[in-house]
Amino acid sequence: MEIRIEKTQHPKKRPSDDEILNIPFGKVFSDHMFMMDYKEGKGWHNARIVPYGPLSLEPSACCLHYGQLIFEGLKAYKTADGSIVMFRPDQNMARMNNSCDRMCIPQIDEKEVTKAIAKLVEIEEAWVPSAPSTSLYIRPFILADEAFLGIHPSGSFLFVVILSPVGPYYKGGLEPVKIYVETNYARAVKGGTGFAKCAGNYAGSLKSQAEAEEKGYSQVLWLDGTERKYIEEVGAMNVFFVIDDTVVTPELNGSILSGITRKSVIEVVKSWNMPISERRISIDDLICAYESGKLREVFGAGTAAVISPIGELKYKDTVMSINGGKIGQISQRLYDEITGIQTCTREDKFGWIYKVK
Ligand SMILES: *Cc1c(COP(=O)(O)O)cnc(C)c1O
């Protein structure tokens, strides 16, 4: 892929690591972005790295009306020796193509796009923070930009990658959060778009999230869209339980998003020779496990927070206090191992690190 590079004439001052630790997630963006265009018959073309700035779209652009829009999220880290690395970008690109397929968006060249992202990150090297728990969040997305109001797949698309230096997702460190089990709204159904990282899924979840916040909970636990019985995910994270000595997570069923952190947790747990079970688990089974004292830990897993311990779950009138509201041993151990690999302070036994420079 040939990439044209146009450097900004007005570089911004990158916030200091201290400032990054205090700005909200995803509010500040680096100086440049990557873009390329797609036209039917021509394919992806015009790859370029240009100054970060507003996009120009027709008001009739397809994505603005019918939501043909997908995204990804991954991170780059600065290591102690000054190298810059990304965590499992191949997995994000493979998932992006799955999302593309579901939303009638043309496939991207996973290897070439990974290289283009690495090039952008390299150009923005100075934007990669180095303080503990900081990273450069990478947001690739594809939007349908053909100007028409008919409901059919767009004939043109724009692929964009923007970068945002971020601190830890939870400012107070690895703090257990309170989760509300959603019994009214649904996030996704089998046959729907739950497994795709498409914009509409998140718009549809905002009301549930807002109502949970009003009740004093930080996120919701989603149950299946048909029966509101089987556990799916927590907010925009996958969910794990430690029941007795087994790590349990809902199996991928078409409505759950296949997280790369989820996949990494499973591989790490297996490497520890600890039992792991990907299976259907109902909220009633979970309550049984809780009541018999077998539910030892609950945590969410996703790129933004990596591991997010859950200290309380509320389902209807049942309030489950998990591990006395404290971080569980396995949650902490997984957090240390995965963030250690990400920042190259622990051995990359699995080959997950992609070196940018
Ligand atoms: C992105 C996302 C996740 C987590 O995926 P990661 O690849 O681990 O970041 C889980 N659930 C939903 C709904 C998501 O959007």
Q: In this predicted model, what pLDDT tens digit does every residue of 29-62 receive, in sequence order? A: 999 999 999 999 999 999 999 999 999 999 999 9
Per-residue pLDDT, 138: 98
Rounded-to-integer distance, Cα 52 and Cα 6, Å: 11
Task: Say if 350 falls within a structural domain.
Answer: no
Total structural domains in the chain?
2
- State whether 219 and 254 are in the same domain: yes
Rounded-to-integer distance, Cα 275 and Cα 277, Å: 7
Q: In this predicted model, what pLDDT tens digit does every residue of 52-92 receive, in sequence order? A: 999 999 999 999 999 999 999 999 999 999 999 999 999 99
Question: What's the CA-to-centroid distance between 87 and ligand 1, angstroms?
Answer: 14
The strand pair at 177-181 and 306-315 is best described as: parallel
**Tokens, residue 141:** 């997305």
- State whether 161 and 295 are in the same domain: no
- State whether 275 and 294 are in the same domain: yes
Question: To the nearest whole number, what is the mean pLDDT of the chain?
Answer: 96
- State whether 228 and 302 are in the same domain: yes
**Tokens, residue 85:** 């690395």
**Tokens, residue 83:** 């190298």
> Residue 349 in contact with residue 109, Cβ under 8 Å?
no
Task: Say if 265 falls within a structural domain.
Answer: yes
- State whether 193 and 154 are in the same domain: no
Question: What's the CA-to-centroid distance between 95 and ligand 1, angstroms?
Answer: 11
- State whether 201 and 137 are in the same domain: no
**Tokens, residue 121:** 């990150």
Q: In this predicted model, what pLDDT tens digit does every residue of 135-175 receive, in sequence order? A: 999 999 999 999 999 999 999 999 999 999 999 887 777 88
- State whether 270 and 289 are in the same domain: yes
- State whether 205 and 309 are in the same domain: yes
Which CATH number is 145's domain given? 3.30.470.10
Task: Supply the residue whose CA is at minimum distance from atom 2 of ligand 1.
Answer: 236
- Please state the atom number of ligand 1 nearest to the C-alpha of residue 95: 7
The number of C-alpha atoms within 13 Å of 101 and in the hemisphere containing its C-beta is 7
Chosen domain end from 140, 166, 192? 166
* Predicted confidence (pLDDT) at residue 192 exceeds the cutoff of 80: yes
- State whether 155 and 124 are in the same domain: yes
Q: In this predicted model, what pLDDT tens digit does every residue of 304-331 receive, in sequence order? A: 999 999 999 999 999 999 999 999 999 9
Question: What's the CA-to-centroid distance between 258 and ligand 1, angstroms?
Answer: 7
**Tokens, residue 155:** 């004939």
Domain range holding 85? 4-166
Task: Supply the residue whose CA is at minimum distance from atom 15 of ligand 1.
Answer: 236
Q: Give the burial string for 280-317 (b: 16+ CB within 10 Å, else e).
A: ebebebbbebbeeeebbbbbbbbbbbbbbbbbbbbbee
Chosen domain end from 134, 166, 198? 166
- State whether 9 and 142 are in the same domain: yes
Task: Say if 96 falls within a structural domain.
Answer: yes
Question: What's the CA-to-centroid distance between 150 and ligand 1, angstroms?
Answer: 31
- Please state the atom number of ligand 1 nearest to the C-alpha of residue 237: 10
Question: What's the CA-to-centroid distance between 44 and ligand 1, angstroms?
Answer: 26
Greatest Cα-to-Cα distance within the chain, rounded to the nearest angstrom: 64
Question: What's the CA-to-centroid distance between 302 and ligand 1, angstroms?
Answer: 5
Probe residue for ligand 1, chosen from 90, 189, 257 as the CB with the greatest number of ligand atoms within 8 Å: 257
Mean pLDDT of the 3-18 span:
96
> Residue 1 in contact with residue 49, Cβ under 8 Å?
no
Q: Give the burial string for 183-197 (b: 16+ CB within 10 Å, else e).
A: eebbbbeeebbbbbb
Which CATH number is 219's domain given? 3.20.10.10
Task: Say if 70 falls within a structural domain.
Answer: yes
- Please state the atom number of ligand 1 nearest to the C-alpha of residue 302: 8
Rounded-to-integer distance, Cα 34 and Cα 48, Å: 6
